[in-house]
């Protein structure tokens, strides 16, 4: 069963799950104003319909020794679809690359890269990123601090 239109309860379910993916079904149902069985059915439909793509834990990078966040702007020498796809496939091989976004404008891709220190990032940059096929340039911006980092999207209920 797919759901093409979300009602207020569906949106509230999504909002609450986005805030706390570990909330129990009973707590979720209570917070959105319905009983547990229909709440669980709605969550399953939202999952089956693709609104909910998964659940994950938000890990503190510093606790595991990752103190460097770098945003790298990558330009390729060709914007042919085959070259763009090759780069996207290539970059998926590296766990330090946490996000890859194709862009419109001067740069072709923006990557979010995590590393334990600046030297580790420099090694990745020199050995893998700048030497990747079709890469013309990489401009790196080191994130000094993050003042806002919310998961997901804004959901109006």
Domains along the chain? 8-48 (1.10.10.10), 61-142 (3.30.70.920)
- This prediction has a pTM of 0.85
DSSP states of 39-81: HHHHHHHHHHTTS---------GGGGT--EEEEEEEEES---H
Residues 104 and 143: their CA atoms lie apart, in Å, by 22
pLDDT of 2: 52
Cα–Cα distances in angstroms (integers) from residue 101 to residues 15, 31, 124, 141, 146, in the given order: 24, 35, 18, 15, 19
Instruction: State the chain's mean pLDDT as an integer.
Output: 95
Rounded to an integer, the average pLDDT of 3-13 is: 89
pLDDT of 151: 86
**For 94-109, what is each residue's pLDDT tens digit?**
999 999 999 999 999 9
Q: Say yes or no to pLDDT of 77 above 50.
A: yes
Coil vs helix vs strand at 115: strand
pLDDT of 1: 45
Rounded to an integer, the average pLDDT of 69-80 is: 97
């Amino acid at each position: 069963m797919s759901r093409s239109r979300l009602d207020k309860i569906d949106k509230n379910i999504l909002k609450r799950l986005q805030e706390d993916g570990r909330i129990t079904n009973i707590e979720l149902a209570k917070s959105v104003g319905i009983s547990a069985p229909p709440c669980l059915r709605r969550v399953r439909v939202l999952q089956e319909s693709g609104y909910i793509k998964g659940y994950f834990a938000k890990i503190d990078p510093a606790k595991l020794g990752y103190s460097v966040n770098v945003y790298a702007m990558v330009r390729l020498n060709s914007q042919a679809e085959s070259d763009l796809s090759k780069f996207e496939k290539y970059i998926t091989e590296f766990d330090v690359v946490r996000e890859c976004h194709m862009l419109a404008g001067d740069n072709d891709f923006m990557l979010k890269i995590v590393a334990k220190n600046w030297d580790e990032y420099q090694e990745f940059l020199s050995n893998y990123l700048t030497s990747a096929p079709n890469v013309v340039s990489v401009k790196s911006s080191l994130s000094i601090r993050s003042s806002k980092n919310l998961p997901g999207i804004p959901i109006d209920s």
